[in-house]
Structure 1
């Protein structure tokens, strides 16, 4: 007998689904709401066929032999991804009914799939993770105008061909409407972030930090556009402002710039106060953030950073961590009063703000209260999942009262098993 549950296929090609916590949470939210889910994604080292921690989400993976490092190689990688995804989707559709498809960017190449689904009278959802044109402009070197035009065209086609668009913040929604010409009624904001159940209680009092030394933490991708060198140089300036006895900086994550940063720390002679952890699993991330006193977000004031919500910001706020950050639109919308903002993110600005916060126990305690309230009342995935499921219920004309409600603990077990994701601006290590 045919399975009565609506079947949604989710496409993600930026990384294997078992390392993409946003998509994991989406899958589990759909499961909890009575949907059946299949994910098409690149093949991970474990060659998984089902999502860990889920009841039934199937994985249909494909090999990814190409790794982009230039315009032509990226083009070949994305073309291969489109071919691999399309053949697997058609294979699934030949065996069973597919009621809808969701594609996550980058890349913005799945609008042909959107046209196919809509020709069949079935919904296609574009889950907009990153601004591909702005991300390309942030890369080292001068952007090629022709490449930028193609990226903007593909982005617009992805918006316009979709039945609905899921935006990760208000800025992305505004762009889908203004730059993409989307009807506001079909653009829904679903933010990133952990569930309440994923976040443990604070390991130390936020006013006192660790018993002997405060920990300043950076958590995230370490690529040139992430400006993590400014955080390292801020540590050097902080040594001059307050010595080395009562603090340390921990840089958690990896990326293209990590070897250069290790060399920079050695050259500047600050290895005693700056430590690199490399990649951390989910429980290690949670323990680090819960034991820290301050978080730092040095992303520079580029257009990409201005309009993007950094997943690390939500991870910081979820643990009640006061944040020192560059004054960016979406960072303010996320952290509000839980952060101290600096104009440009220069090492001197960051060091002075860190020094002031380290010396002000009451300010850190007040910011921690604001952070936890922001997370529990608005930012937690528990709230975001409701908007996500309402969208699917509307698209597939379902009566949500006839299915189980979304569990407040969705995403907890799977997210802890897989660890935080890697990727672009919406990802954390």
Structure 2
């Protein structure tokens, strides 16, 4: 018998696959590099199959007890998910796992990582998606308290247990190194760039514009920290500006604040101007990108968002979309001059940026082209993929 291929297991708790583009691209990259790949994720939306194999990647999905919005709810949701993840790891055979990759949030996936190391042979890769303590500060407005102390402890434990850390940008790498628990050579940056070779071209669908000349497009998870309320306020203001009489906003996403945002849209009398489409995937998502004229960001400027490399920014760039967003440090670093930036988290300023793009077709075209070029030359998935695979290869070579 030939030598068995190494086995990588990826746990992601706040999203499922294939919809989580970053994790799905990672899983496919490992598969193509000769790994056996298993992904453990929750059942979400249309993805309810408890076990399936897609494109050679084995996927195990567990139920979520609730979709939490309170501290007690999160405790129940995450504890239930954690029990399912631990059970699945044992069922997979801990001695057959070469690398366990954990993706936050939440940060207490160090628990299955600790089990895999103690009772198996796995090395642990921490794919660092979010700054959970900083997110808590933004959500609660407080830099102290038992919940924040627990979050900081959980993050510390995750860094301590990890053999390698993958950061989504330079700010996250600096944060990991500041913990003092992991060395520089064990922290690597891998941006969440779209795979342009697998990118669906999409078809322009005039029906998505609802009779308007210009389609604004927002994609993401609708949470309390994502600023969709500010974007809706900006839409109300945009109606009073040049170009504001002929646009439609398509919101592709879902999340705990969706009902709240739909109610706000109705309150602002935006029903005819805004469509909440829910999560889109496959051809539906590609068609939305292909039809859109402008990609919009709503994430407000704060210490947390300043350090995030927003997936939507890279996706807009992949589809040649000019962008309007708030002036976030990492977003500006990535998008450069392919976006207009609003200041002070001001809805009126964001509306003005969008109005300027609506009124200037030539500017839109030039900015969209610059964004695509920046993506291809500085953030291509081909480059990111090799960085990612190098992390895994270094683990195998060190054995």
Aligned counterparts, 1:24-423, within 5 A: 24-43=24-43, 46-52=48-54, 54-55=55-56, 57-93=57-93, 97-119=96-118, 122-139=122-139, 145-201=145-201, 213-242=213-242, 244-397=244-397
Report the Cα distance in structure 1 between the residues aligned to 2:344 and 2:197, rounded to whole angstroms: 35
8 Å contact kept, 1:325–1:345 = no
8 Å contact kept, 1:137–1:143 = yes
1:168-208 deviations in whole A, cap 9, x for unaligned?
A: 1111111000135421110111121321134355868xxxx
Report the Cα distance in structure 1 between the residues aligned to 2:373 and 2:3, rounded to whole angstroms: 41
Report the Cα distance in structure 2 between the residues aligned to 1:361 and 1:67, rounded to whole angstroms: 42
Report the Cα distance in structure 1 between the residues aligned to 2:48 and 2:121, rounded to whole angstroms: 36
Report the Cα distance in structure 2 between the residues aligned to 1:264 and 1:85, rounded to whole angstroms: 37
Which segments of 5 or more consecutive residues in structure 1 lack a partner in the other structure?
Answer: 400-429
Report the Cα distance in structure 2 between the residues aligned to 1:266 and 1:197, rounded to whole angstroms: 40
Residue range with higher mean Cα deviation, 169-178 or 72-81 = 72-81
Is the alpha carbon distance of 1:79 and 1:118 closer, same or farther for their aligned partners in structure 2, counting shifts above 3 Å? Answer: same
8 Å contact kept, 1:210–1:293 = no
8 Å contact kept, 1:338–1:367 = yes
Residue range with higher mean Cα deviation, 37-46 or 292-301 = 37-46
Q: CA deviation at 1:340?
A: 0.9
8 Å contact kept, 2:243–2:358 = no
With normalisation by structure 2, the TM-score equals 0.89
Aligned length: 392
8 Å contact kept, 1:244–1:273 = no
Q: CA deviation at 1:69?
A: 3.2
Q: CA deviation at 1:141?
A: 6.8
SS of equivalent to 1:283: helix
Report the Cα distance in structure 2 between the residues aligned to 1:70 and 1:144, rounded to whole angstroms: 18
Is the alpha carbon distance of 1:238 and 1:59 closer, same or farther for their aligned partners in structure 2, counting shifts above 3 Å? Answer: closer
Residue range with higher mean Cα deviation, 150-159 or 260-269 = 260-269
Pairwise CA RMSD of aligned residues? Answer: 2.7
Report the Cα distance in structure 2 between the residues aligned to 1:66 and 1:287, rounded to whole angstroms: 32
Report the Cα distance in structure 1 between the residues aligned to 2:59 and 2:272, rounded to whole angstroms: 44
With normalisation by structure 1, the TM-score equals 0.83
